[in-house]
Each structure stands twice: as C-alpha cells, then as structure tokens.
Amino acid sequence: MWCRQLLPLLALLSPALAGVQELWWNVTYVENANPDGLFERRVVGVNGTWPPPPIEVNNTDSLLVHVTNSIDTLATLHHHGMFFNSTSWMDGAIGVAQCGIPMGQTFDYVVPINTSGQVGTYWAHGHANGIYVDGLRTPLLLHSANETYGADYDAEFTIMLSDWYHQEHTVLMESFISIANPGGAEPIPDAALIYFSQNGSYLPPISGSHPSPVTSAVGFNENSTLPFEPGKTYRLRIINMGAFAGFYFWIDGHEMQIIEVDGTDTLPQPADVLSLAVAQRYSVLVTARNDTSSNWAIHANMDTSMFDKVPSTLNPNITSTITYSASANTTNLTTISSYTLVNDTSLVPFAALPAPNPTDTLDLVFNFATMNDGTNHGYINDLVYNSPVVPAIISALTLGDNATSQVAYGPYSFVYNYGDVIDLVVMNADKGKHPFHLHGYKMQIVNTATDYTSDDPSLNPPLVEGQANPMRRDTVTIPGGGHIEWHLDSGLAVQFITAPLQIQEQAQGRVPSFLYDQCTALGIPASGNAAGYASPTDLSGLPLGPWFQKLGWLTKGILAMAGCVLTAVLGILTVVWYSAMGGTITEEEIEEAVLKRIEEKERKGKFFGLIKKKT
C-alpha cells in the first residue's frame, strides 16, 4: 500500500474563487430518539435535532464549522477523508490533533476544500469518546461543477447505512473493555439503519407511517423510500456510518455501476452487491426501470460474520424501497445466494496516478489479545495505543527542533519526512476483517494478500512495483482482518507525524489560539512532547499499556509453589511425628481405653450400638 503525499501538487491550485460555507453546530443531546422504532434513547445531535444535517459543499468553497460543545463529555468533529495539508490541527481526532472541545466552548474547523482538490462522497463525525456512535455523524458531499460523470445521471441520492445501539457508547465501553470480556467480543448492534438524503436534507418518511416524533422528519428503514422516475439515471452515494458492522447493499431489479470509491472516481464497473466496511463509501449509477408496475426493495444486510453471536432479537437485514408509484406493490426478492466482497484492487481510478517508488517500508502487524489487566485490547506491533497526554500535532508545533524525535511522540508514533513514500504493509493477525483508515491521506492499494503468512502466491501474491494506476482510497479493508470504533477504543491505532519542521514553518501565525487554550482549560499541557515535557526523550507519566500477559513461572508463582510444597512436607512430617515418633500407646492401653469407653456407655444406658440392635 502506498501512502502518498498528494498534497504538494494540489496546494498549487489557486484559491482565488474561494467562498466560505459557514455552519454553526451546537452539539447537543436529543432525548427520546427512536429511529429503529424499537427503543427510545438519548442521542448526540446538532442544534437540538437528530440526525445532524447533511453537509454539501462546492469544491470552490472552504467549509467552516463552528462546533460548540453542549454535551457533558469532550467533543470534536472529524471530516473523514479530508486532507488538512499544513493545517492538521483541524483534523478533529481527539488526542492526536486537539485536546477536545471542553463543555461550553467552541472550536472553529476550517476544511480547505477549495484547495484540497477533493471531490466526492465523504462524511463527518465526532471523533471523541465515541460520540459518533451516539449519533454525531452526517454525510459530507463535495460537489464539483465538472463532475467526472456529471453528464451521466439526472439526480442523486445519498444513502446512509449504520448499525445502531440502544445503549450509549460509554455504557457499551464499560462492558467491552472489561475483565468480563476477555475475548474482546465487540458490542453487537441492536438494529441497523438506512436513511436517505438529497440536496442537503433528509428524505421524509413515507406517508401513512408513524415515525417517532423526535425524528419524524426523516424516514428510516421500512418507513423510508427513494422516489424514482422511470428511465432516469441516479447517482446513489452509499456511506457506512456505523461503528462496527459491515454492510452488504443491493437493490432488487436494478443494476449498479461503481463510479466512485471513497472520493476517488473510478472507471465504471458493474457490481451486483456492494460490501461496505465501516467508513467506506461508494457511488453507483442506477438506471430506473421503465415500468412503474412495481416498487422494488433496497437491501442492506449487516455482515453478521463479525458478530460473536446474532441475538434472536436482532434483525440484521433491513430493507427500504424504491418507489415508482405509491399504489404499486413492492417486489422483494430478499435472498441472495452468496455475499461477495467488492474487489477494490480491481477498480481503476479515473485519473491515473502511478505508484511512486517507496522510500520506506513500514510493517504494521495488528491483532487483539487479553492483556495483563484481564481486558482485551487491540495492538499494533505489540503495542496498545493510548492517547498521549499532549496531542501529537501540538507536540510537533511546540517541540521546536526536538520535533523530529520519533521518541517524543510516544512509542506508537512514526515520524516521516516531507515527500516520503511509505510502503505500508498492514498485516492482520486476527480472524476478522478490519477496515483500516489513514487520516488526511489516501492510500494506494498496491497489493492484497488473503494470508500474509502463506507461501502460496494466490493467497500471498508478491508485490508488483511501479504500478501505473493502483486503486486509492482512505479506508481499506484488510482481509482475514481501522475504522471500527470499538477497536480504536481498545487501542488499535498508531500515529504518523509527517514533516514536523515543515508543520512548524507553515503554521507560523495560523494556529488558532483556542487549540492551545482548550488544552489548558482541560488541564492538559499545551506544549511539549507526548508526556508534556519540552524534552525529546523524557516521557515519564505517559499513559501506556496494558501489556501482554506474562505466562509461565514468574517469581510469585515460584514462591507460591514453594509454599505449597513446604506446607505439604511439613504436614507429611507431622503425620510421621504423630504416628511414629514417641508416645507409643501400648496394646494394653488401647484395650483399657476401649473398655473404659464401653463401660461409660453402659453406665449411661446407651448400649453398644449396632450389634445389640441387630441381634
């Protein structure tokens, strides 16, 4: 996989036409939301509504989102897939790019869409304490006046897929990272959601349905529908905005042509079924049927192979409809013979970009294990990720010349130079498949192995260098086995710091003061290395661990075993002492004692027991 610096070229584009699309987002709780019709719960919404409004931006504008935190935990907003060349403090990842917005404060996110050259389907979501799992997520569409396939469709819809939990993220985390869950079974969703948007607003529920009042403006699942007109061609942008579950997506009676993947336009490729890991997006062209005699089912099935079990109360397969005529019946073919994953390496980007020669190779092996505190954690290269005390961006900005020290950012960090091309080899040692997401970059997928330990070239093909136009996307599924919220929470992450000295140079006078102020407000050092010291190496107090369990004969085990053996030997010696060492009772004494006892019994009138009774 190439991780390539696309940005230097794109930065040259003129920002002359730039406007600003400005949004004021007050992150609030919304009570009693019940999108699946099964359970009312508190969700995290925006300006008192849920779901948060969809964001659609022209690529001539930059996006400015004023995010105010009105919930009782830290908040951030991450624009997934966006490049923040030279302004990476705007990325929104808590603990990496910022300290988190304290309650009542505001962080102004500037997304330089006008200069990033990005177009396509993205999404925005909270990136702190799982608030996106609790609802803070919305599509982010970047439109261009000259779309690659702009002439090929008449209208477009956005389709949001998501798993849905009835418990809040903090509650789920307590049971997930818990000594009672040593196997690390991820929380299993309680439902799945599908809903639609168009031109920046959600599609309403079908008439005659009785949606929950809190979300009555939005149609979910069987209450939702896409209105199709015969003969027209639609662009459907499908986003998996969930926390855990992958989705299989298809439409009965209609064919799909993939034209965009994670913001990369591709040559058209037909697909029967789309497979979307969490955070992945596809755009497909779908041509409406010419007859209006029937409406057709839209299917979104959760990939239950990732669940440790499928509870009987969970319906993993949800449907919506395409409506041609309100009076027509719906054709629902329901079953599918087998799921196939979209082979994204076979997709070809529309704009050819040859794979550069890597300047460096980085192997990342990730897996999960029960750690020495009894909880299950993800780890990469044998290390569980913990957020550093000081976010890496702030370290890079404030460490001066020490910013080039890889050690300063914590042991889970990798420092690269400007323009480095990294051959990132991500190896999944776990059974399940895992989506892998790199903030601020697109990765070129140059090779995929089903089993990286295999010698079989069909399972572990050799890397072909110098590929003319490998597929590139920001969220890649690593087979066997990221962007699964639970795994991020459990420590499955590393951080890359690219060109820290250039970051400092370009940041001169551009870093908003609230970046530092909010850290200070939270009692977090606003400068220094990962542990908050102005030192390239002193990391004392940096949260690390838990660590791998150490098995076998440790000191305490040896001592315990010695103690057991010692007391057993003492006991055995006592037995010997009791029987054989001194104080021997002679036969006479025994007989005397027995006789005495018998006489005593007789005197008491209770006769000698069994013998007398039976005879």
Binding interface with another protein (CB under 8 A): 179-185, 308-309, 369-374, 376, 548-549, 551-554, 556-558, 560-561, 563-564, 567-568, 570-572, 574-580, 582-585, 587-592, 594-595, 598-599, 608, 610-612, 614-615
List, in sequence order, every beta strand (DSSP E) within 86-146: 106-111, 120-125, 137-143
Closest contact distance (angstroms) between CB of 558 and another protein is: 8
By beta-carbon proximity to another protein, the closer residue of 352 and 553 is: 553
By beta-carbon proximity to another protein, the closer residue of 51 and 184 is: 184
Q: CA triplet 224, 295, 218: central angle to 5 degrees?
A: 10
CA 371 to chain centre: 20
By beta-carbon proximity to another protein, the closer residue of 363 and 592 is: 592
Closest contact distance (angstroms) between CB of 546 and another protein is: 10
Instruction: Give whole-number Cα distances, 553 to 89, 249, 476, 556, 558, in Å.
Output: 47, 52, 41, 8, 6
Q: CA triplet 243, 249, 255: central angle to 5 degrees?
A: 155
* Amino acid identity, position 434: H
The token pair at 582 is 């001194």
By beta-carbon proximity to another protein, the closer residue of 455 and 588 is: 588
* Amino acid identity, position 345: T
CA 588/CA 545 separation, integer angstroms: 71
Instruction: Give whole-number Cα distances, 161 to 2, 53, 288, in Å.
Output: 29, 15, 21
Classify the C-alpha dihedral 467-471-477-480 as positive or negative.
negative
By beta-carbon proximity to another protein, the closer residue of 333 and 594 is: 594
By beta-carbon proximity to another protein, the closer residue of 308 and 456 is: 308
Instruction: Give the H or E element holding residue 503.
Output: helix 500-507
Closest contact distance (angstroms) between CB of 459 and another protein is: 24
CB neighbours (10 Å) of residue 187? Answer: 22
By beta-carbon proximity to another protein, the closer residue of 290 and 584 is: 584
The strand pair at 137-143 and 120-125 is best described as antiparallel
Query: Locate tokens 């986003």: which residue?
Result: 239
By beta-carbon proximity to another protein, the closer residue of 210 and 613 is: 613
Pick the closest to residue 491 from 364, 372, 414, 380 (CA basis).
380
DSSP conformational letter for 49? B
